[in-house]
């Protein structure tokens, strides 16, 4: 079975359904008889297998499993940086053609685009399928295709685009299409998906995209495209009509301690990883980026509190952690930057700080701060390299803040307070609601509010880009001595270069932009 994740996009024509065993329960089904392009699709089960195969692409290291998308959505902003001199090409903006240009991510996203194009055309109008199964499959495929092009257009701008699977010759000569056109068509597809998908799932179907997941993605498209009324309408639809609710306790949003109970009412869409998958990348190693490594911890680790000849602090600490079934076995690659780690930079009384940031654990001061919301030290249920934690793609608090931002841009802050204050109500005790701001004051306050609420969740860098403040923010942010992104970042870095291997295979990719997004 060919692994497309390391094969250049333009050499790939055949669409092969992967063995569907791992990840969420709805993917735990054996691939028995096989499906080929000659028999697409004879029954409901075959259509479902095809959809499941597209979902499985999301579990790749190049996407959600580890630093695939996080390289360009989390790193290189003002919230996350490495604890040592690693991942420097990305964080320090040393990106170029062939250098951290996202080629693996590009290939995986285009595998999604190819598979969804073929499957949509094979399922639509297929009389071998029941109406319910056909609608379900089409809705999910439309969502997954829109998610792929959402990332492609966010990261590369104008990109190759197709709605039907191109021929080999067409793939080898395809040019880039206008980003705005692509995004317009994806929003129309999502509107259709909203009408096809169910409002919720239960049991073994948890992890599939609901109508509210499609609505959230559509709202994101509108927000990024500054279509404020549409962004507001979609966000309010979720707030008022969906089964999702804000949890009472911020820390509970990120509680993944029980592998059998990792969903909550605030999640709109997650990529649900599992421990010990039978096949494939069903588990995640992203957690290891946020987990400390014991060689760094605790502070003054080689001191001997009991005097010469007694155990060192690190030996005492390791024993203490082990007594709780815990261990610091991670990489420590994704830790809070100094400014966000400093509690004095947060608004006084913001309880999200202690839920998000940890500088002292089980009575020991740590050498570095860490993101408590993203770590899991449990060595039994979440061991190194084999973690089951969900990647939260969309959650309701983000939607509330999107509604607040859109309402402020449309009409000023008066109608926006209710949305932002709903999020702040659980962050402060006593409550600290916003009021009395001008439109510009509200806009700028939102820059920080989204940082405190959504830090290290995959939103920050794109927020800074869409606000037009990425460069000034990176330049003004304190980084650790081994990083210097402020010295290197340039206007071109709001987009990635089209991967070098793709240009070598198809020079037509430079036809509409010989500069390759400014990298030539």
* CATH numeric code, 4-246+494-510: 1.25.40.390
Q: Which helix (H) or strand (E) holds 142?
A: helix 131-156
Question: Could you tell me which residues come within 8 angstroms of residue 486 by beta carbon, excluding any fewer than 6 positions away?
Answer: 474, 475, 476, 477, 479
- Residue 76 Rama label (left phi>0; alpha psi -120 to 50; beta): left
For the chain, the distance separating the N- and C-terminal CA atoms, rounded to the nearest angstrom, is 37
CB 371 within 8 A of CB 335: yes
pTM: 0.94
| Domain range summary for the chain, segments of one domain joined by + | 4-246+494-510, 286-387
Contacts 24+ apart (CB under 8 A), 228-233: 228/406, 228/409, 228/410, 229/406, 229/410, 230/187, 231/402, 231/403, 231/405, 231/406, 232/403, 232/406, 232/407, 232/410
Print pLDDT tens along the chain (520 aa). Answer: 223 233 333 333 333 333 333 346 666 554 334 445 555 799 999 999 999 999 999 999 999 999 999 999 999 999 999 999 999 999 999 999 999 999 999 999 999 999 999 999 999 999 999 999 999 999 999 999 999 999 999 999 999 999 999 988 998 999 999 999 999 999 999 999 999 999 999 998 999 999 999 999 999 999 999 999 999 999 999 999 999 999 999 999 999 999 999 999 999 999 999 999 876 779 999 999 999 999 999 999 999 999 999 999 999 999 999 999 999 999 999 999 999 999 999 999 999 999 999 999 999 999 999 999 999 999 999 999 999 999 999 999 999 999 999 999 999 999 999 999 999 999 999 999 999 999 999 999 999 999 999 999 999 999 999 999 999 999 999 999 999 999 999 999 999 999 999 999 999 999 999 999 999 9
């Amino acid at each position: 079975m060919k692994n497309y994740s390391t094969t250049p996009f333009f050499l790939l024509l055949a669409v092969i359904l992967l063995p569907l065993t791992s990840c969420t329960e709805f993917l735990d089904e054996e691939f028995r008889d096989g499906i080929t392009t000659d028999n697409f699709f004879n029954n409901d089960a075959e259509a479902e297998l095809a959809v499941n195969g597209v979902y499985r692409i999301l579990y790749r290291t190049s996407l959600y499993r580890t630093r695939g998308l996080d390289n360009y959505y989390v790193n290189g902003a003002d919230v996350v940086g490495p604890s040592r001199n690693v991942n420097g090409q990305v964080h320090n903006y040393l990106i170029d053609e062939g250098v951290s240009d996202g080629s693996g991510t590009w290939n995986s996203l285009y595998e999604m685009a190819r598979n969804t194009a073929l499957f949509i055309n094979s399922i639509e109008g297929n009389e071998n399928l029941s109406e319910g199964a056909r609608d379900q499959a089409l809705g999910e495929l439309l969502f997954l295709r829109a998610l792929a092009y959402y990332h492609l257009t966010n990261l590369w701008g104008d990109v190759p685009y197709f709605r039907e699977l191109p021929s080999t010759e067409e793939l080898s000569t395809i040019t880039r299409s206008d980003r705005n056109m692509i995004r317009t068509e994806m929003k129309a597809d999502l509107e259709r998906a909203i009408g096809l998908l169910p409002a919720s799932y239960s049991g073994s179907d948890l992890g599939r995209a609901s109508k509210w997941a499609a609505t959230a993605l559509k709202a994101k498209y509108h927000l990024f495209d500054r279509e404020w009324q549409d962004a507001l309408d979609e966000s309010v639809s979720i707030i008022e009509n969906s089964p999702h609710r804000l949890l009472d306790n911020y820390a509970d949003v990120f509680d993944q301690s029980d592998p059998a109970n990792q969903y909550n009412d605030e999640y709109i869409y997650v990529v649900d990883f599992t421990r010990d998958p039978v096949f494939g990348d069903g588990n995640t190693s992203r957690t290891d980026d946020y987990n400390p490594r014991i060689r760094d911890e605790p502070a003054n680790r080689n001191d001997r509190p009991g005097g010469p000849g007694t155990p060192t602090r690190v030996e005492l600490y390791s024993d203490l952690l082990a007594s709780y079934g815990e261990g610091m076995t991670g990489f420590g690659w994704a830790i809070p930057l100094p400014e966000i780690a400093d509690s004095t930079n947060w608004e006084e009384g913001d309880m999200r700080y202690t839920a998000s940031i940890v500088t002292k654990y089980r009575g020991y001061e740590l050498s570095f701060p860490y993101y408590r919301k993203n770590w899991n030290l449990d060595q039994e249920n979440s061991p190194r390299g084999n973690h089951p934690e969900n990647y939260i793609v969309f959650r309701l608090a983000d939607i509330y803040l999107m509604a607040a931002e859109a309402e402020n841009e449309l009409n000023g802050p008066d109608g926006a307070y209710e949305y932002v204050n709903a999020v702040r109500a659980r962050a402060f005790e006593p409550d600290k609601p916003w009021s009395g701001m001008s439109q510009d004051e509200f806009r700028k306050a939102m820059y920080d509010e989204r940082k405190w609420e959504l830090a290290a969740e995959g939103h920050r860098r794109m927020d800074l880009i869409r606000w037009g403040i990425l460069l000034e923010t990176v330049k003004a942010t304190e980084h650790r001595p081994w990083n210097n992104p402020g010295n290197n970042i340039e206007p071109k870095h709001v987009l990635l270069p089209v991967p070098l291997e793709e240009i070598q295979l198809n020079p037509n990719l430079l036809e509409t932009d010989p500069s390759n997004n400014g990298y030539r």
